[in-house]
Amino acid sequence: MKKVQSMSDSLRLMAQQRSSGRCEYCRLPDWLPPLEPFHLEHVTARQHGGATEAENLAWACHRRNFHKGPNLSAIDPDTKSVVPLFHPRRDAWHEHFAIVGIRVVGLSAIGRATAGLLQMNASRRMERRAELVKRGWF
């Protein structure tokens, strides 16, 4: 008997496939152990009226999801202005971020604020990214 997927299973699979199995914020792949399970993240949190539907969901590593929380904005470290966070459904990653060596660099106010709030260049993440770069997987 074939198991019928629940709506959440279907949404998780859709988000994972849409992201090519990478965190939509930091680009970490979900297929390398040892990793915590990836999350089906609400871009606009439910507490802010965000719906559990494809256009409001992102595939996120547990650390990006933890640091993002319900936040919708952050402060750009260069301009000190409050700006919206990167929105994986509306924004193009390459317009806001670049990988330089093993660092995720914000190319825009949105990219800088998001990289900072989500701690994309925390020491453990940079160590993991260095390992992936060395193996040709990032």
Summarised one tens digit per residue, pLDDT across range 23-45 is 999 999 998 766 688 999 999 99
Helix (H) or strand (E) holding 114: helix 109-117
Predicted local confidence at residue 7, as pLDDT = 55
Predicted local confidence at residue 5, as pLDDT = 44
The predicted-structure confidence for 47-97, as pLDDT tens digits, reads as follows 999 999 999 999 999 999 999 999 999 999 999 999 999 999 999 999 999
As a whole number of angstroms, the distance between CA 58 and CA 52 comes to 11
Q: Which amino acid is at 13?
A: L
As a whole number of angstroms, the distance between CA 83 and CA 94 comes to 18
- Comparing CA positions, the residue from 6, 8, 73 lying closest to residue 41 is 8
Predicted local confidence at residue 135, as pLDDT = 87
